[in-house]
């Protein structure tokens, strides 16, 4: 196993009146012990995408002197053009585009994924509540990010209908989006991330946990059972995804950058 540090860059690409946020996270540990240490933060408003691409490239090159880097970026509102700019910039780290949806299941094609808001919210909420996210106090924007995370927690707690419309309303939440993408990528792509803890539970334990979560969020036994079955299906899909990646990794040891 490599002793090199593992970094994930999460990038929330802003539009005309929204800032772009870049979060560099050092990942340590595996499974339910994964820890996410925020090592770098930056936010840019009104900058052209060419500038953002150069910032991502420069930060990647700096981090690659210390470890392996993976990049995930929100391409929900910026379209294919900006994604192509990032991929054409000569960035050596693997790049993964995330489009945030209101759906129920993750779908992927190549390095692009359509991810339900619920999935991003859930993985970030679990990591935050369990104290697995730490922000270096020396960072100039540490206080701003902490405020965003606390505000995010309040909004999700208040969103009893779990539609999360309030997630992107009002105050800035670009750091939250960037961090959520980084945490999600670790769990989905590396095969040793947050979702791995599902495998340690039998179905009865998992069902009890899901019932505890969904009971106050559904209005009938039928809705509750449907929600639990949907989550179990997604667990199975995640496990299949991780197994596929492990098989591909075992077949290809040619030095291609890995997740």
102-143 residue pLDDT tens: 777 788 787 888 888 877 877 887 777 778 888 888 888 888
Q: Is residue 43 part of a domain?
A: yes
Q: By C-alpha distance, which of 143, 72, 78 is closest to 112?
A: 72
Q: Is residue 254 part of a domain?
A: no
Is 9 within 8 Å of 24 (Cβ atoms)?
yes
Mean pLDDT over each residue of the chain, to the nearest integer: 76
* 176-218 pLDDT tens trace: 889 989 988 887 644 343 444 334 445 666 677 677 667 777 8
Residue 41 has a pLDDT of 93
| Partners of 113 in beta bridges | 98, 108
What is the domain range of residue 141? 5-197
The C-alpha atoms of residue 220 and residue 84 are separated, in whole angstroms, by 46
Higher-scoring residue by pLDDT: 147, 248? 147
Q: What is this structure's pTM?
A: 0.68
Q: Is residue 234 part of a domain?
A: no
Higher-scoring residue by pLDDT: 249, 134? 134
Q: Is residue 250 part of a domain?
A: no
Where is 86: in which H helix or E strand? helix 79-87
Measured CA distances, 189 to 51, 104, 165, 229, 248 (Å):
28, 19, 27, 23, 12
Q: Is residue 167 part of a domain?
A: yes
How many domains does the chain divide into? 1
Q: Is residue 27 part of a domain?
A: yes
User: Looking at residue 47, which CATH number applies to its domain?
Assistant: 3.30.420.240
């Amino acid at each position: 196993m490599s002793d090199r540090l593992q970094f994930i860059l999460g990038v929330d690409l802003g539009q005309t009146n929204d800032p772009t946020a870049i979060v560099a996270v050092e990942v340590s540990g595996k499974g339910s012990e994964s820890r996410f240490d925020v090592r770098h933060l930056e936010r840019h408003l009104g900058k052209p995408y060419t500038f953002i691409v150069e910032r991502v490239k420069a930060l990647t090159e700096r981090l690659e002197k210390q470890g392996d880097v993976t990049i995930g970026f929100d391409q929900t509102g910026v379209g294919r053009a900006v994604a192509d700019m990032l991929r054409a910039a000569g960035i050596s780290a693997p790049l993964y585009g995330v489009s945030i949806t209101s759906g129920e299941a993750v779908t992927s094609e190549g390095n692009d994924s359509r991810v339900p808001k619920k999935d991003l919210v859930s993985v970030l909420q679990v990591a935050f509540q369990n104290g697995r996210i730490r922000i270096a106090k020396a960072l100039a924007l540490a206080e701003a990010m902490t405020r965003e995370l606390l505000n995010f927690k309040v909004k999700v707690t208040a969103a009893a209908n779990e539609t999360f419309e309030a997630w992107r309303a009002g105050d800035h939440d670009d750091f939250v989006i960037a961090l959520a993408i980084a945490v999600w990528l670790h769990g989905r792509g590396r095969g040793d991330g947050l979702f791995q803890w599902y495998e340690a539970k039998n179905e009865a334990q998992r069902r009890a946990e899901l019932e505890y979560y969904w009971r106050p969020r559904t209005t009938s036994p039928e809705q509750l059972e449907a929600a639990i079955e949907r989550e179990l299906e997604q667990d199975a899909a995640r496990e299949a995804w991780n197994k596929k990646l492990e098989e591909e990794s075992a077949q290809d040891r040619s030095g291609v950058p890995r997740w």
